[in-house]
């Protein structure tokens, strides 16, 4: 890795041997696959052998779900002809930040943009710009970062390249006009002069010439993309007379070094074993020593002696350092502004497992102290999360960007051995001018034409208002809705059912509006076990006409546990443990499973969507169960009557 002694152009304060760029896009538009190809085609790729697919998605959940959850950086060492052409040297180091594509992980995107000098915006050649495209593009324009448009997956049979480029330019023009009103310093002419590259990330090919729809880029490699990056993404600028200023943008951990702070150096030089000033968020200063300095080389971190302006490095030796803080000069400290992210829109309660089956998993983490420590640990690296105490003991309110982000946190804790009680997601409201306001979402839906009526009806029931509708003449329509964020809780499962899995829906935050009134989330009730015991085939066969079950025969149940979905609107208590009476004609063992409809197995996300206002989800390392908050039937009835009388 180059250091502060690296070559710069005479008379300028720029690191011409370095470029910092973030790759941003909507979910599944091919960011991580493109990074794989960039690593494979640069001179460092051979040092790592054959790369596995989507190598940047290192987390277990990321590989399972096929999405990027955490922003990560890698380094590409480029030595092609564009290095001499645009930088005047034999090779250039390109730091690449791979960012998440889901709006729920927007905090990761905002952090990534704070580290770079330019953005590569990926757009699918068929789907075109979607909500996350709008979200990240607005953030990039606010930061006045140059944008390179890459139309990816040009080899898709249903590609519509002209339409996608036109849609993206229209989006860019609209966003630039909005941002210019807020930021008068924005140069609209430079913003709209966006270079376009056409690529197939899977094949590792790119071109500046537009291929035919469904065609392959005319270049055999990604050289046109590297050339465009070096031409349009500026080298890091710095003040050679300024003191050290290094911004902490991410955190990691090493089993040998402890907490690692990932930071970008804006000015000055950072050296191993150097004494620096640590500027904290609370305004205090502390002298610390950099015990280890790590530079990124391909996919690995290697020890370095020093690092200069523009470089992205990791440091060890500061156990309590947080995101947004600054490492600066001891004699003349100059802290940088802290990183700010959008406020959370969704909250849920997370507490210890209070069900009758708590603590049965050997080695499970069940105490309040363990749960609180884990939530505090999550706050260290997740800037978009907030945790508050609640009135109930051993329970905390966790606020995040969206339902998926919170579900991912609970799933990670479950896999780490925690037992939890998780409440139904709620929206985070605020009071504006004395009136209650709630967060709104702009929902974009792509669906076959035949499902238009079902989607419109579903959105109307959730207080959604259609703003635009487009028919491209391909049998698919695109509809945009303005809908309360709470209307999207439990939306996805119903939406996929109504569109038979063919619909695509995504959304982005659209500010706050006055409270829209009551929303009915479910038209079905719950089947609730009225006693503790074991579910029997005899009872389930007799009850299955009432609805569908969530439990298997012979599975243990308890009073107040939701064992199925009632076909009717109201809840129904059932005896799912009832056994067949023994007679001299037939033994109980002769009961048959034939005729019993297989139970529905809900995932964690589906369970959170299904749960009603008076229900919660019991999460253990081996099982996920839905239950009533108040398990006892008599106590539930008293609580219901009390709430009714209080509301009258």
- Residue 556's DSSP bridge partners are 534
The rounded distance, in Å, linking the Cα atoms of 530 and 562 is: 10
Structure tokens of 426?
């709620």
- Residue 542's DSSP bridge partners are none
Q: Are 333 and 284 in contact (CB under 8 A)?
A: no
The rounded distance, in Å, linking the Cα atoms of 490 and 612 is: 10
The rounded distance, in Å, linking the Cα atoms of 359 and 367 is: 10
Q: Are 602 and 550 in contact (CB under 8 A)?
A: yes
Element (H, E) at 447: strand 435-448
* 32 annotated ligand binder: yes
The rounded distance, in Å, linking the Cα atoms of 325 and 283 is: 10
The rounded distance, in Å, linking the Cα atoms of 546 and 555 is: 19
Buried b (16+ CB within 10 A) or exposed e, 436-446: eebbbbbbbbb
The rounded distance, in Å, linking the Cα atoms of 630 and 648 is: 22
Residues 6+ apart with CB under 8 A from 129: 26, 123, 137, 164, 167, 168, 171
* 31 annotated ligand binder: yes
- Residue 427's DSSP bridge partners are 346
* 390 annotated ligand binder: no
The rounded distance, in Å, linking the Cα atoms of 165 and 538 is: 61
Structure tokens of 142?
């606010």
Determine the 3-state secondary structure of 124 from DSSP. Answer: strand
- Residue bearing tokens 């280890």: 292
Residues 6+ apart with CB under 8 A from 165: 149, 151, 196, 210
| DSSP secondary structure code for residue 418 in this structure | B
Nearest Cα residue to 45 out of 294, 224, 300: 300
Q: Are 298 and 75 in contact (CB under 8 A)?
A: yes
* 152 annotated ligand binder: yes
Dihedral, CA atoms, 472, 477, 480, 486, nearest 10 degrees? Answer: -160
Count CA atoms closer than 13 A to 45's CA, side-chain side.
16
Largest alpha-carbon pair distance within the chain? 102
* 26 annotated ligand binder: no
The rounded distance, in Å, linking the Cα atoms of 214 and 124 is: 12
Q: Are 509 and 346 in contact (CB under 8 A)?
A: no
Cα dihedral 70, 76, 82, 83 sign:
positive
Residues 6+ apart with CB under 8 A from 512: 430, 432, 437, 438, 439, 440
* 30 annotated ligand binder: yes
* 155 annotated ligand binder: yes
* 93 annotated ligand binder: no
Determine the 3-state secondary structure of 587 from DSSP. Answer: coil
Binding residues for GTP: 28-33, 152-155
Binding residues: 28-33, 152-155
């Amino acid at each position: 890795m180059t250091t502060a002694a690296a070559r710069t152009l005479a008379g300028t304060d720029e690191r011409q041997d370095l470029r910092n760029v973030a790759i941003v896009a909507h979910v599944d538009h091919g960011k991580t696959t493109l990074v794989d190809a960039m690593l494979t085609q640069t001179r460092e790729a051979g040092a790592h052998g054959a790369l596995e697919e989507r190598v940047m998605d290192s987390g277990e959940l990321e590989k399972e779900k096929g999405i990027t959850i955490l922003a990560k950086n890698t380094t590409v060492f480029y030595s092609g002809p564009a290095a001499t052409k645009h930088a005047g040297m034999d090779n250039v180091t390109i730091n690449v930040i791979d960012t998440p594509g889901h709006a729920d992980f927007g905090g990761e995107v905002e952090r990534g943009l704070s580290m770079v000098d330019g953005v590569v915006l990926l757009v699918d050649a068929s789907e075109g710009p979607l909500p996350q495209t709008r979200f990240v593009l607005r953030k990039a324009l606010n930061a006045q970062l140059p944008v390179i448009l890459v139309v990816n997956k040009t080899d898709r049979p249903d590609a519509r390249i002209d339409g996608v480029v036109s849609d993206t330019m229209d989006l860019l023009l609209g966003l630039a006009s909005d941002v210019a009103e807020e930021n008068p310093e924005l140069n609209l002419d430079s913003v709209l002069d966006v270079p376009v590259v056409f690529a197939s990330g899977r094949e590792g090919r790119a071109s500046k010439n537009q291929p035919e729809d469904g065609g392959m880029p005319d270049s055999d490699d990604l050289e046109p993309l590297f050339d465009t990056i070096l031409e349009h993404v500026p080298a890091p600028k710095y003040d050679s007379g300024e003191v050290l200023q290094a911004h902490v943008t991410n955190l990691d951990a090493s089993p040998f070094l402890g907490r690692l702070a990932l930071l970008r150096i804006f000015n000055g030089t950072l050296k191993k074993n150097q004494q620096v000033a640590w500027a904290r968020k609370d305004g205090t200063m502390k002298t610390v020593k950099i015990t280890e300095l790590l530079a990124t080389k391909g996919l690995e971190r290697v020890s370095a002696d020093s690092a200069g302006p523009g470089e992205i490095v990791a440091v060890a030796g500061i156990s309590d350092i947080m995101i947004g803080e600054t490492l600066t000069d001891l004699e003349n400290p100059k802290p940088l502004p802290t990183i700010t992210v959008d406020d959370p829109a969704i909250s849920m309660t997370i507490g210890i497992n209070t069900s009758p089956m708590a603590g049965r998993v050997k080695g499970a983490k069940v105490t309040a102290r363990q749960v609180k420590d884990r939530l505090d640990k999550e706050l260290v690296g997740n800037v978009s999360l907030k945790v508050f105490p609640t009135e109930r003991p051993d329970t905390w309110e966790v606020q995040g960007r969206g339902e998926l982000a919170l579900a991912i946190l609970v799933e990670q804790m479950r896999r780490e051995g925690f037992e939890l009680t998780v409440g139904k997601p709620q929206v985070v409201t605020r009071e504006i001018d004395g009136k209650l306001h709630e967060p709104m979402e702009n929902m974009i839906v792509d669906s076959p034409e035949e499902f238009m009526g079902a989607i419109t009806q579903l959105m109307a029931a959730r207080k959604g208002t259609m703003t635009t509708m487009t028919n491209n003449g391909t049998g698919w329509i695109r509809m945009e809705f303005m809908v309360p964020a709470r209307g999207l809780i439990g939306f996805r499962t119903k939406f996929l059912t109504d569109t038979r899995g063919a619909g695509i829906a995504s959304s982005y935050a659209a500010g706050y509006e006055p409270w829209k009134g009551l929303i009915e989330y479910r038209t079905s009730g719950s089947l609730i076990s009225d006693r503790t015991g074991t579910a029997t085939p005899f009872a389930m066969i007799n009850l299955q006409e009432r609805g569908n079950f969530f439990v298997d025969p012979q599975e243990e149940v308890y009073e107040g546990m939701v064992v199925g979905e009632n076909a009717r609107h109201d809840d129904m208590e059932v005896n799912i443990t009832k056994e067949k009476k023994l007679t001299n004609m037939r033994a109980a063992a002769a009961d048959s499973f034939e005729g019993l409809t297989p139970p529905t197995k809900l995932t964690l996300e589906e369970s959170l969507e299904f749960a009603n206002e008076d229900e919660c989800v019991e999460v253990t390392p081996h099982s996920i169960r839905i239950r009533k908050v108040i398990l006892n039937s008599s106590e539930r009835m008293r609580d219901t009557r009390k709430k009714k009388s209080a509301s009258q």
